[in-house]
Amino acid sequence: MSVSAPSVKPPRRVGDRLFAGAAQGAALIIMLALAGVFVFLFIEGLPGLHADERIYQPATNFASYVGPLVYGTVLAAVVALVIAVPFAIGVALFISHYAPPRIAAPIAYVIDLLAAVPSVVYGLWGGLALGQATKPVINWLYDNLDFIPFFAGPPSVTGRTMLTAGIVLAIMVVPITTAISREVFAQTPRLHEEAAMALGATRWETIRLAVFPYAKSGLVSAVMLGLGRALGETMAVAMVLSATPIVTLNLISDTNPATIASNIASNYKEASPDRQAVLIATGLVLFAVTFAVNFLARLVVARSERGVTR
Amino acid sequence: MSTTTPLERDFAVSAGLVQPKLPRGAGLLVAVLALGVSGLLALLLGWNPVGGLVLAAVLFVIGFPLWSALLEGRRSAVDRLATSLVCLAFGVVLVPLVWLIWMVVSKGLSAISIQFLTYDMRGALAHGGGIYHALIGTLLVTLAATIISVPIGIFAAIYLVEYGKGNRLARVTTFLVDVMTGIPSIVAGLFALALLVLIFGPAIRIGFGGSIALSLLMIPTVVRSTEEMLRLVPSDLREASYALGVPKWRTISKMVVPTAIGGIVTGVVLAISRVIGETAPLLIVAGNTDSLNWNLFNGRMMTLPVYIFQQYSSPGVLPAGEVGDPPGYARAWGAALVLIVIVMLLNLGARIIGKIFAPPTDRRR
Amino acid sequence: MTRTSFRRAIVPGIAVLAIALTGCGAANDNSDGSSSSSSDSLSGSIAGGGASSQDSAQQAWRAAFQGDNPDVTITYDPVGSGAGRESFENGAYVFAGTDSYITDDEGELTKAKDRCGSDPIEVPVYVSPIAVAFNLSGVDSLNLDATTIAGIFDGKVTKWNDPAIAALNDGVDLPDTTITPVHRSDDSGTTANFTDYLSKAAGGSWSYPADDTWPIKGGEAAEGTSGVVAAIKAGDGTIGYADESQVGGLGLASIQVGDSFNPPTAEGAAKVLALSKPAPGRAATDMAIDIDRTTTEADAYPLLLTSYLLACQTYDDAGTADLVKGFLTYILSEEGQQAAADQAGSAPLDTTLASKATDIVSKIAAK
């Protein structure tokens, strides 16, 4: 910061020291908690990496057990984000820049309501109402676009497909991503925007030139938080998805890979000790997946932000 | 502009002084046209109304910018396109929202009664009983989780933005928070249980354990949203404050945090909404009971999500001679409705608080 | 903006709210010492948990038992059989429900012995027929044998008008619809019993062992009994297996037993359990039963699920021992079994089994 590095250090005040200590302490607590979770997963999950063959049924070893799950987790998250992110950013822009200020706040409030719906209800709604509603759509996709591997079919007769699960996850992601994005958009310095307007830019050009560059890092954070929800969601996916250990691009059939989180949730209850260990080991793998995704995202942001200063 | 007569304006356009513009009601006109055309098509070809609406949206998104492109030029057309896409996005997102809320309200409203809100489930079978114990449990468990995670989350974010500045602890914390966003809720529950068992022995099942699990899920949301909001506070504000000799901690607590308070509150509310509906960790740590329990630190505590899940997955059967859905379903929907209303009120309260404490700014809202 | 008055109003507002909330207990909760007049009524609280299959029945048992003993609080966490057994072994639960009887394959029986200090008690408390239910427009009931069911769920019989089905159903107008078999996506005792039935009754046409996990890759899968029922209802040509009490409104298959076709009934299930042999090599306090899936008895229905309760013979604490004894005795009584039948649609235990179990339970005592 530009005010730092004065030649004589000012005396540190008690309040300053306390405050800095509290802040550092909070960071340390988070570190400890997470280290705790990691150690717990590691100790409990280690035996699951090489258990008896029959434990992994219908797969035969840990790699073939967790493989379809990792694939399913990533696929579901990708489908969800592909659907959710454009909508979330659109809605955030609508609230921050398009809607009349007087109704923007109520609209934001209404969208936040989506975050309030318990995931069990999302599961019920997705499995019953949405699944039924997607049936004509997936039949149409199968009839007309079955040369695309995503729609290779045969279409599910119950509508409980990866597509449905992706839509449900997308709807769960939208409020989180929207809320953070709109706060970020709303914080854009007014002067930048007014300068752009004054130069004759249209509203869209203003957003593209003055708002997006400023909001980029915040948007990535917003998407990452949404992604976290998509990766870690258990009940809704478990209730919506017709899951089986298989790797497929097909989004509209009744054979879909489960996600790691939903697989833990649905199988932990009845699991014997050995299988519990396997499930916890898959939780470790999910950590790795989450880390990899976040790491990549940070890398992308860092690269694109080089030279752009705020 | 309002004083110019049409004649003068035509002259101005033809002289190249003013860009030609679409008439005021152009958007509405295109929308009506699109709806009419697709409605007619849907009627003639026997499509269902949803297909017609989709076609109308597509027609509008293509037609409106096209008109603009012909009359106003490319830049305006792109602007019109962006506007219609943004509005469309909003409209589409409303669909699942309204659908979900309608489903919950229509199925849940019939279950709600004074008795439903003030009875617990002791002695209740196919009829009777209520959610009082689960309601209190959810409020207490979530409140405790909020009390744990909000200070930790906000202070950690302050550390990351104001103190850490890329040192090792800050980098590790950022990394951990990133990884933490994807913890499956059940793993958080298992961890909280393991932690409590380590301290209190295997039989421990307390509401507070649920709070621990939920705060593990809340913290990443709070940290990340707060961090973003603090970063967006202009450096000028801090520098101005330092220049006046205000100590750093007062600058942060009186200047930086209040400026970002709207966003921070949003983040906290989001975090609460995210966890208040979690089932799996609460079932594992806080358990399941029919009775009311006010003590977070002693004994099992029922919560609304666990109640919903239990009533849905073990709905029981109606007494002989009665027909209809199993009795648990209505209770599950009723409880879901109550849960949503709680979060709604919470959200409203948080916004009011945010408004009260936020300094007047030139923010848009 | 009246900001200050707002801030002033917040604190008292919250205080009033808090007082209003703490002031009231649940309106139907009358356990505040008002009713402990009779000296022999029980008091205290015990915690159990496990199989979610018997959760509905547990709700009924708790409701009645806590009604008779207002100072008693019994909890049952429907966390699943595996988690229930584990918590029983490490002492977290004083009793646990499990859908498959405890074995020593992964050392669980030994751990249970260590926890109790002697052989654990294991008694069947919940018997329920598993229905093979389907959703096929125009057809309400079908006759199926185990071989055909195995063929359907293994993907070998793919159309509803397949000759194998038609041969069993003279005069039923079967459509040319594709069969969509629905299985449980979560591990469950229902799946274990269903696959056990197929592997024993379907001869060689079902080549997979009995297991909690569905053994075949692919196919429609759904979470929990409610999920399976919802999935069957959601499609045309679907068929699945689920607890009989929850399949209302769907077509039901009668399965071949001997030469007749029997629909799922509680009595038929209870009858098969009574006929079945105890599992070999179990302790005297352990009533583990290997269900006879190939019985040819009239009206029998061999596709059923049995859920057990695990408990110890002795407990450190006399209060706990009394409570467990009282609760389990109530569950096994005619009244308790009928309560479960009313609330959960289960089959009351056969009287000989029930009295044997009651004998075992009656010996529960303090150390």
CA distance B132 to chain C (A): 6
CA distance C69 to chain A (A): 31
Query: Taking CB atoms and an 8 Å limit, are A270 and C188 in contact across chains?
Result: yes
Query: Taking CB atoms and an 8 Å limit, are C187 and A274 in contact across chains?
Result: no
pLDDT at B277: 85
pLDDT at A177: 92
Mean pLDDT in residue range B58-78:
83
Strands C304-311 and C121-135 come out as antiparallel
C186 → closest Cβ in A158, A266, A276? A266
Q: Which is nearest to C219 in space by CA: A77, A58, A149, A232?
A: A58
Q: Is the ipTM of this complex over 0.85?
A: no
Q: Which of A164, A269, A276 to mutate to test the interface with C (most CBs of C within 10 A)?
A: A269
CA distance B265 to chain C (A): 17
Highest mean pLDDT among A259-273, B56-70, C142-156: C142-156
pLDDT at C13 over 70: no
Domains of chain B: 6-108 (no CATH), 115-356 (1.10.3720.10)
Give the residue from chain C lying closest to A157, CA to CA.
C235
Q: What is the pLDDT of residues B4-63, one digit of tens each?
A: 455 565 666 566 666 677 777 777 888 888 888 888 887 887 777 777 788 888 888 888
Q: Which is nearest to B241 in space by CA: B226, B229, B253, B227?
A: B253
With beta carbons under 8 A apart, name residues in chain A contacting C230. 127-128
The better pLDDT of the pair B11, C306 is held by C306
pLDDT at C22 over 70: no
Query: Taking CB atoms and an 8 Å limit, are A121 and B277 in contact across chains?
Result: yes
> Is the separation of the CB atoms in B99 and C39 below 8 Å?
no
> Is the separation of the CB atoms in A62 and A56 below 8 Å?
yes
Mean residue pLDDT of chain C comes to: 86
Percent pLDDT > 90 in chain A is 17
> Is the separation of the CB atoms in A184 and B61 below 8 Å?
no
Q: What is the pLDDT of residues C74-115, one digit of tens each?
A: 999 888 888 899 889 988 899 999 998 998 888 889 999 999
Q: What is the pLDDT of residues B182-231, one digit of tens each?
A: 788 888 888 898 888 888 888 888 999 999 999 999 998 899 889 988 98
With beta carbons under 8 A apart, name residues in chain A contacting C187. 266-267, 269-271, 275
pLDDT at B100 over 80: yes
DSSP states of C280-349 as a string? TT--TTB--EE--TT---TT----EEEEEEEE-SEESSHHHHHHHHHHHHHHHSHHHHHHHHHHH--BPP
Q: What is the pLDDT of residues B137-186, one digit of tens each?
A: 999 999 999 999 999 999 999 999 988 877 888 888 888 888 888 788 88
Q: What is the pLDDT of residues A17-42, one digit of tens each?
A: 889 999 999 999 988 888 888 888 88
Query: Taking CB atoms and an 8 Å limit, are A221 and B225 in contact across chains?
Result: yes
Q: Judging by beta carbons within 10 Å of its beta carbon (0-12, 13-18, 19+), is residue A239 exposed, middle or buried?
A: buried
Burial B303-323 (b: 16+ CB within 10 A, else e): bbbbbbbbbbbbbbbbeeeee
pLDDT at C34 over 50: no
Q: What is the DSSP letter of B256?
A: I
Query: Taking CB atoms and an 8 Å limit, are C234 and A255 in contact across chains?
Result: no
Mean pLDDT in residue range B234-251:
89
Alpha helices for A94-211 (secondary structure H)? 101-116, 119-125, 131-145, 162-186, 190-198, 203-206
Mean pLDDT in residue range C5-14:
53
C52 → closest Cβ in B121, B205, B314? B314
CA distance A83 to chain C (A): 24
In this prediction, residue B364 has a pLDDT band, given cuts at 50, 70 and 90, of: very low
Query: Taking CB atoms and an 8 Å limit, are C83 and A268 in contact across chains?
Result: yes
In this prediction, residue A81 has a pLDDT band, given cuts at 50, 70 and 90, of: very high
Query: Taking CB atoms and an 8 Å limit, are A244 and C178 in contact across chains?
Result: no
Q: What is the pLDDT of residues C145-166, one digit of tens each?
A: 999 999 999 988 999 999 999 9
| Helix/strand/coil for C256 | strand
Q: Which residues pair with C97 in a beta bridge?
A: C50, C309
B96 → closest Cβ in A20, A171, A264? A171
Distances (CA, A) of B205 to A243, A276, B212, C47, C77: 32, 20, 12, 9, 10
Question: How far is C-alpha C214 from the chain's CA centre?
Answer: 18
In this prediction, residue A9 has a pLDDT band, given cuts at 50, 70 and 90, of: low
Query: Taking CB atoms and an 8 Å limit, are C26 and B125 in contact across chains?
Result: no
Domain ranges, ordered by start, for chain A: 16-309
Say how many CB pairs under 8 Å bridge B and C. Answer: 127
Give the residue from chain C lying closest to A237, CA to CA.
C223
In this prediction, residue B360 has a pLDDT band, given cuts at 50, 70 and 90, of: low
Domains of chain C: 12-128+272-291+305-366 (3.40.190.10), 130-266 (3.40.190.10)
Query: Taking CB atoms and an 8 Å limit, are B294 and C344 in contact across chains?
Result: no
Query: At residue C251, what is the residue type?
Result: G
> Is the separation of the CB atoms in A276 and A45 below 8 Å?
no
Give the residue from chain A lying closest to C182, CA to CA.
A242
pLDDT at B7: 54
Q: What is the pLDDT of residues B305-348, one digit of tens each?
A: 989 988 888 887 877 777 777 888 888 999 999 998 988 888 88
B69: tokens are: 């492109």
Q: What is the pLDDT of residues A42-79, one digit of tens each?
A: 888 888 888 777 778 777 888 888 999 999 999 999 99
With beta carbons under 8 A apart, name residues in chain A contacting B221. 176, 225
With beta carbons under 8 A apart, name residues in chain A contacting B164. 27
Q: Which chains touch C (3 or more CB pairs under 8 A)?
A: A, B
Give the residue from chain A lying closest to B361, CA to CA.
A187
Please indicate, yes or no, whether the overall pTM of this predicted structure exceeds 0.90: no
A58 → closest Cβ in C86, C217, C223? C217
With beta carbons under 8 A apart, name residues in chain A contacting C108. 272-273
Distances (CA, A) of B16 to B4, B117, B270: 16, 70, 51
A19 → closest Cβ in B82, B249, B332? B249
Q: What is the pLDDT of residues C255-301, one digit of tens each?
A: 999 889 999 998 899 999 988 999 988 888 999 999 999 888 888 99
CA distance B265 to chain A (A): 10
pLDDT at C26: 67
Q: What is the DSSP letter of C121?
A: E
Query: At residue C15, what is the residue type?
Result: A
Pick the CATH number of A16-309 from 2.60.120.260, 3.20.20.70, 3.50.40.10, 1.10.3720.10: 1.10.3720.10
Query: Taking CB atoms and an 8 Å limit, are C78 and B124 in contact across chains?
Result: no
> Is the separation of the CB atoms in C43 and C71 below 8 Å?
yes
Query: Taking CB atoms and an 8 Å limit, are B362 and A190 in contact across chains?
Result: yes
Highest mean pLDDT among B283-297, C17-31, C187-201: C187-201
pLDDT at B153: 94
With beta carbons under 8 A apart, name residues in chain A contacting B184. 232-234, 260-261, 264-265, 283, 286
Q: What is the pLDDT of residues A187-222, one digit of tens each?
A: 788 888 888 888 888 888 888 888 888 888 888 888
> Is the separation of the CB atoms in A277 and A177 below 8 Å?
no
pLDDT at A73: 92
Mean pLDDT in residue range A147-173:
87
pLDDT at A1: 44
With beta carbons under 8 A apart, name residues in chain A contacting C79. 269
A243 → closest Cβ in C106, C221, C235? C221
Strands C95-98 and C260-262 come out as unpaired
A270 → closest Cβ in C212, C231, C234? C212
Q: Which is nearest to B280 in space by CA: B178, B197, B191?
A: B191
pLDDT at B65 over 90: no
